[in-house]
Amino acid sequence: MKLHIDFRGNRKIALPDSADTERRKLSPPIPQGRIHLSHQLHEPLHMMFVEDLSEDFINHISGEHILLFVNYDVDAVCACRILQNLFRSESTLYTLVPVEGTQELVEAYKRFSDKVKYVVFINCGGSIDLVETLEPEPDVLMFVIDSHKPSDICNVYSRSQVRLLGKPDESENIPQFEDIFLDTDTEPESEEEEVNEEALKKRRERKLWEEKRNRVMFDYTQFSFCGRASSLVVFELIWNLGKDDLESLWWAIVGLTYQTVMGLIVEQKYACELQVLQLHLSRLTSISQNDVEANRSQFYRITAQKDLRLVLYRHWNVQASLRHTICSALKLKLWTVRSEKRLYQVLAEIGLPLKDSLQNFSSMDVTLRNEFFSMVETIANNHDLDELIYHSFTVSVCYGNNFFQASDYVYAMICLLEDTMKDKSRGSCFSNCIDSLSPTKYNLVLNGIEKCKKLFTSIVRLVQSMLDMKQIISAGPFLYFIINENTSDYSLYAHPMSLAMLARYALNACASQSNYRKHGSLPLIVSAPQSEENCIVLGIPPVTEYVPRNFFGKAFDQALETINTEPILSYFDSAAVRISIKDRPKFFDSLSTILS
C-alpha cells in the first residue's frame, strides 16, 4: 500500500510498501579511507550542530520541497506532527516517508530524492554516515534530529551537507577532530619513497596516532543510549518562532513520556525536562485563556500534577493495572501462588472495596476516583511502592469529556504503530498513529488503549510461563529467551517497541526471583519471529545499570561479521536487528564467544 498525496500546506505522505573487559573485546568502527578536509569534513572544533534553528534551518527550508524521513517510534511521530504544523504555516511542501531501518532508508532515498535539495531525518540517520550511505548530490543539504546516540562522527564534522539540529549532548563526549581525522598533509610517505629517519619518525607517530584513535573511537561508540527527545527539540524551535500552542506542547510531553516509559532515560533527566515543560504550560494556558479566538484551546486542557505510574488505570480496573505494572507486580510478586492474598491486603490497606477494584475505573464511585491517588500514596511506602508516584501530565480532550495521562497516549501509540496483525501495512499503522494525535480523533487513542490492554495481558502471561518453565536461559555473559511460532500471541512481539516492553518486564521479573538472582547483573536478549523466514533480535542492558546504556549494537555488528552474514534490516535503535531464522543459532553462538 502506498499513499502519495501532494498538496501545499498539508502532508504529502509516501508510505513504503513494506516497510567492561568483556565489552572491550568489541572492535571499534573506524572511518575508512583517506579523509580530506578540503571537501568532506569541517575544520577542527567546528561541529555541525545547529543551535539557532530559526536562522540555520527554517530560513533554508521555508517554501522549499522537503523530503522528510521519520522513524517508527512515538517520539519521532510526535516530532513529525509538530513539524507538519510548522511546514503548513511556512507554505512548505513535504514528502513524508516512514522508515524502519537503514536498508529501508537507502531504498526510500533512491525512490523519492529526485530533484529534492533538502532532507530532514527524525530519529533516523544520525548514527550512520549519511553522505557515505546515501551518496547524495553535492547540493543536497540534510538536517538531522535524532535522539539515538552516539552521533556518527562523520555527521558531526561534516563540512557541507549534514546539519545536526539542537545542542550537542554533554554525555556524548564527542572526540576532538584531530583525534579522529588526519589532514592529507600529515599522511606518511608511500612505501616506494626513500625510508629515512624523518620518514620512520612520521610512521611511528602515525602508528601511535592510530592506536589512540582506535581507543577514542571505541570509547565513543561502545555504548548506544538515548539523548534529548526529538519532539522537545522541535517544540523548542516553534517556541522560538512564536508558533507554539497547547496542542504542540502536548505532543512534546508525549514524546518525553515515551522515553521514560520505555526506560530510555534516567529519572533525573525526565525531571529536568518536566520543569521546563511546566513553565511552558503555565505560559500557554494563560495565553489561551486570554485569547477569546483560541477555539482550539477548548480541545485541550492540560494539567501538570503528581500521578500514579499504574498502566492505563483510568481506562482499566485497579486490579488489572496493579497486576500489569512492572513496579507493583515485582514488589508484590503478583505472578506467584500467594499473589492474590498480597494483592487483597494492599487493596484493603488502600481502602478500596474488592468489587470496586474489579470495576472499570471510570465506573467507580466518584469519591473513590477522586481520592484514589491519595489513598495509594498513603500506603506506597509501606510496600516499597514509592516508584508508583511520579510527576506527569494529564489532558482532557473535546470539551473535557475524555481524560488521558501522557503515558496512556504513549502506550496507545505504540500499539497503533506496531499493529500489523490482520495484514495491516506498516504505512497504514503509521498513518493511524500520527492521526491519533489530533484532538478530534481521540477514538484512535481509545482503540490503541484497548490493544495495549491485550498486549500487557499477553506480556504478564508469557513472563509467568517463562519463569515457571525456566525458559529464560543463561548463555554465560547474557540471558536470552526465544519466542517461537507455537507461543500464544507471538505476532504481538514482531516489532521493537512491544518486544522491548516484554524484555524489560521479563528481565525485571527474572532478577527478582531467588533462583535467578545471581543473574541479576546480566543483560537480556530476546528474539521473536516476523515471518516464516525472518526474526527480530533485541538486547537490553542489565537492571542494575543506573544509566540505560546498551552495548549490544556493536556486539550485534561484530557477531554478524563473524558469521559472515548481512542483516536483513538494521533498526535505527542499534540494539535491534532483523536476521534470518536459520542464522540465529550461529548468531547467538558468536555473541556468546564475543562477550565471554
Kindly report the CATH number assigned to the domain that includes residue 218.
3.40.50
Report pLDDT digits (tens) over 512-531. Answer: 876 666 777 899 999 999 99
CA 120/CA 116 separation, integer angstroms: 11
Give the mean model confidence (pLDDT) for residues 452-461.
96
Give the mean model confidence (pLDDT) for residues 319-324.
95
CA 259/CA 18 separation, integer angstroms: 26
pLDDT at 118: 95
Q: Is the pLDDT of residue 479 over 60?
A: yes
307 in the same domain as 251 = yes
424 in the same domain as 350 = yes
Q: Is the pLDDT of residue 298 over 70?
A: no
How many domains in the chain? 3
257 in the same domain as 185 = no
548: CATH:
3.10.310
Q: Give the model's confidence band at 424: pLDDT under 50 very low, under 70 low, under 90 confident, else very high.
A: confident
DSSP states of 446-469 as a string?
Answer: HHHHHHHHHHHHHHHHHHHHHHHT
Q: Is the pLDDT of residue 196 over 70?
A: yes
Report pLDDT digits (tens) over 548-583. Answer: 999 999 999 999 999 999 999 999 999 999 999 999
In angstroms, the first-to-last Cα distance of the chain is 45
Is there a contact between 67 and 94 (Cβ–Cβ < 8 Å)? yes
115 in the same domain as 50 = yes
The parent domain of residue 566 ranges over: 470-595
Residue 495 within a domain: yes
Grid coordinates representing 44 are 577542527
- How high does pLDDT run on average in the chain? 86
pTM here is 0.90
397 in the same domain as 351 = yes
Looking at this protein, which amino acid is placed at residue 545?
E
378 in the same domain as 443 = yes
pLDDT at 31: 46
172 in the same domain as 129 = yes
434 in the same domain as 333 = yes
Q: Give the model's confidence band at 293: pLDDT under 50 very low, under 70 low, under 90 confident, else very high.
A: very low
Whole-Å CA distances, 425 to 14, 15, 98, 344, 468:
13, 9, 12, 43, 36
Report pLDDT digits (tens) over 14-57. Answer: 444 433 333 334 444 444 433 333 335 444 445 678 777 777 78
103 in the same domain as 208 = yes
Q: How many CB atoms lie within 10 A of CB 487?
A: 18
CA 101/CA 297 separation, integer angstroms: 37
Q: Which of 422, 457, 492 is the last residue of a domain?
A: 457
260 in the same domain as 144 = no
272 in the same domain as 222 = no
Grid coordinates representing 349 are 490497606
